[in-house]
Structure formats: C-alpha cells, structure tokens
Amino acid sequence: MIVCHCNVLTCRHVREAVDAASGRDGLTLVTPGVVFKENDKRPRCGYCMPHIHKLIEEHLTDNTVWNNSKL
C-alpha cells in the first residue's frame, strides 16, 4: 500500500527503512525523517507523516522482545 503519494513510498519501504536504521547501531531514533533519508527521498506535502509515524511505531513494537512478554 502506498503511504506517501508524493514519493511513492509503500509500507514495505517504511518497514525496510526502520529495520535498516534501527539495526545499524540499535541506538538510532527512527523518525519519519529517517525513513525518507533511508529511501533517498524528501518529504514534500507532509500529509503522510502521521501515517509513517504510526507504521514506525507498529513495526518497532512488533519487533521488540517486550511484545511477547507479560509485563
């Protein structure tokens, strides 16, 4: 599904960018700006920002060890 129509970024582009950025050193704060940078794109209208932010949050939550804990 296309998330950013200005740059034709899909959910997959977002997830791959999150994996690349967060896996590099484990300390990178992944923001929508990081997702654009990982894809060599720049935000234009900004309409997609809230959706990209939500995808980042969901993807990071799905991949954390805390996800399966009972805390």
Q: What is the C-alpha to C-alpha distance for residues 66 and 71, in angstroms, rounded to an integer?
A: 8
As measured in angstroms, the least distance from the Cβ of 19 to ligand FES is 20
Q: Given the rule CB under 6 A, which residues bind ligand FES?
A: 4-7, 43-48
Identity of the residue, 24 or 44, whose beta carbon is nearer to ligand FES in the bound complex = 44
Q: What is the C-alpha to C-alpha distance for residues 65 and 61, in angstroms, rounded to an integer?
A: 9
Q: What is the C-alpha to C-alpha distance for residues 40 and 58, in angstroms, rounded to an integer?
A: 22
Identity of the residue, 16 or 63, whose beta carbon is nearer to ligand FES in the bound complex = 16
As measured in angstroms, the least distance from the Cβ of 12 to ligand FES is 15
